[in-house]
Chain A
């Protein structure tokens, strides 16, 4: 099928502001958007820049705003978009070049919630025990690939870039609800700060944007409840 792809481009060495460029090409309905971007880069315009690696929704490199929705370019097919496709960088992070954004502040927020296992008890000879039911409680939040689809779809984050954002909170959830972890108090202290958890206005954009089907808003609500319980 013949498709038209409009891409919002920005060359930091030439452009003062971003500009739309249009490409026409032949595509297979089963092609991924990433395949189409590759086709453009490899055959029409080598300077088009974007991040990509695994090409099947696991590495989290290629989050983009595709026809108005945050998605991974490797996880959405042309047949589901139609003949006219518009691609922009994800919002709320500084654009470096074309579809590449500066991810540093995103990772800073992630690191702020102490996204690592905390338990200073002596380790057993074998594994720590955990029942399948205890494991299930935080299963969804272990799926996070840090692609930033959720955080950069959040209207609160667009207005206030210092808001920790849904991705960081999901990763806090992953440890807070892990029966083996002992770091909840430290994490809640971070989440309780002015740019923490309470900024969430339950817009649900994050849940809709998540390419891993994590119920992000629910995870945020779960953490809010823990915080209320602890502080009341």
Chain B
């Protein structure tokens, strides 16, 4: 077999979750660990996270982990598994201190503690008022987490395979035995034989036209496992962040509103007062994004086409804006030519985060059905996974918390499993599937261009399956996806070379994106209720009697099969969600 490697633990992805998993796996002296990443680790999209990581440190005012757990559950519109949220709210405190001990340069309070600020949906005493829970490093908290974890991985001498693109996962007799990856520099395939595999490869926002997500976020592993019979949980819950830069979607942190920023419509009104009287602009993202669309639809948008909203920071001191929000200030200046210190910034909701993903239990073990049957040797953490911490809508800052808490759990558990298990045998044909996949694309008819299909995918997903959905738009999108997949069969790749064939990789990624869109649209069409980020205009209410359950989508033949999994409830009874 060509290019064979063997590590006890393989981590796929080198963002926050992957680096945390690698670090903790490597602390087990009995196992070898390697990280495979399609980018250089420091290019991972964790680095684009801005506002903060939520943890009830109470450095500014009193805070408690049970309040954080409750906010997470309510923010998730009660689809959050409550045991997961409780464990998370306690562990994230410890994890944030640990990051500080690794040297992470948090911003500081006057008395030298980690600085904290308000963020959407984070409250004290179960919803009474907004609370300062987001621990931040200016508006580049994700950058600092990624840098700090990468720095530690250098200290720990972690083995990396950079610019290796995982295209298949090896599942034999129901257990995971490693992955197959494409080396971008040479065009060669490599087999990574492993006892434990941790998937931490991030999200899939590139299926939408306006997104905060990097070009690299094409849902690769959500598709790879789906093609191998593992379901995807809750793909219909996709978050649109309220404040993307108008048209280009670049993220402006919710921390801007945490520092006092206000959303205004075309007549200058602070419209969030009508939608969330208590916490106003700091309502959870799903509610704010919908409110913005309502305003635009009612003719209250801003601009010549009345199709955007203003984020107004002009009443905040220049010094606070420049010191606490320097990056987003620069984004507005560069990309829109607008100075947030003196002018309101044009914003619109931007595709941001997949609440759903590869289903796992609370210990990050991947499960394959509604009975929580574990796939031995396979783990997932971070955005690619669904534990389900975020339920139907993630609260701001909980993605970074998720990475460090569940990345750590994945590393520990994967290493423990590997230390106690033998290597399973690999089939001789292990690379055949991937080889054929690439050959098909390399020698495709070339009647269709990857870029054209991708653009149509992104535009139609935005029109039919984004913030608002109906039976009609979703059914139309099912048809469109069927047609796009058909056309994808005849795409071609002009670059015949082996080395750095980025065109070939874009073609592969488009196939992944089409699978991700299929999962989302079928989940959304099937769920005839509105909950969290999934808003059906033809079924406007949450329906706990029929729908307080997780979706599981399987690929079956050319279509999909849908199953369900119960929500783990706890002390918080589902209630109407008002803020």
Contacts and interface: CB of A to CB of B under 8 A. Distances in A.
B73 interface: no
Contacts of B57: 126
A116 B101 contact: no
B114 interface: yes
Contacts of B498: 13
Interface in B396-413: none
Nearest to B40: A103
A49 B110 contact: no
Interface string B147-175: 11001101100000000000000000000
Given A54-B45, A129-B112, A41 B334 contact: no
Contacts of A103: 40
Contacts of A107: 40
Contacts of B42: 59-60, 145-146
Given A13-B499, A53-B214, A75-B334, A128 B48 contact: no
Nearest to A14: B497
Given A56-B250, A58-B47, A59-B47, A145 B334 contact: no
Interface stretch (A131-139, A153-161, A192-200): A131-139
A143 B113 contact: no
A48 B499 CA distance: 12
Interface stretch (A83-91, A173-181, A215-223, A224-232): A173-181
A101 B147 CA distance: 22
A175 B103 contact: yes
A81 interface: no
A41 B45 contact: no
Interface stretch (B137-145, B416-424, B425-433, B545-553): B137-145
Contacts of B111: 129
Q: Which of B43, B45, B147, B498 neighbours the largest number of chain A CB atoms within 10 Å of its CB?
A: B43
A200 to B, nearest CB: 23
B188 to A, nearest CB: 14
Nearest to B160: A107
A97 interface: yes
B143 A180 contact: no
A129 B113 contact: yes
Contacts of B110: 131-132
Given A52-B215, A131-B112, A116 B155 contact: yes
Interface in B253-312: none
A53 B43 contact: yes
A11 interface: yes
Interface string B194-234: 00000000000000000000111000000000000000000
A56 B154 contact: no
A65 interface: no
A185 to B, nearest CB: 17
B473 interface: no
14 contacts: A11-B497, A42-B449, A42-B450, A46-B495, A47-B503, A54-B47, A56-B335, A59-B39, A127-B114, A129-B113, A132-B108, A142-B105, A145-B47, A175-B103
Interface of B: 39-40, 42-45, 47-48, 57, 97, 100-103, 105-114, 137-138, 140, 143-144, 147-148, 151-152, 154-155, 185, 214-216, 250, 327, 330-331, 334-337, 449-451, 493-495, 497-503
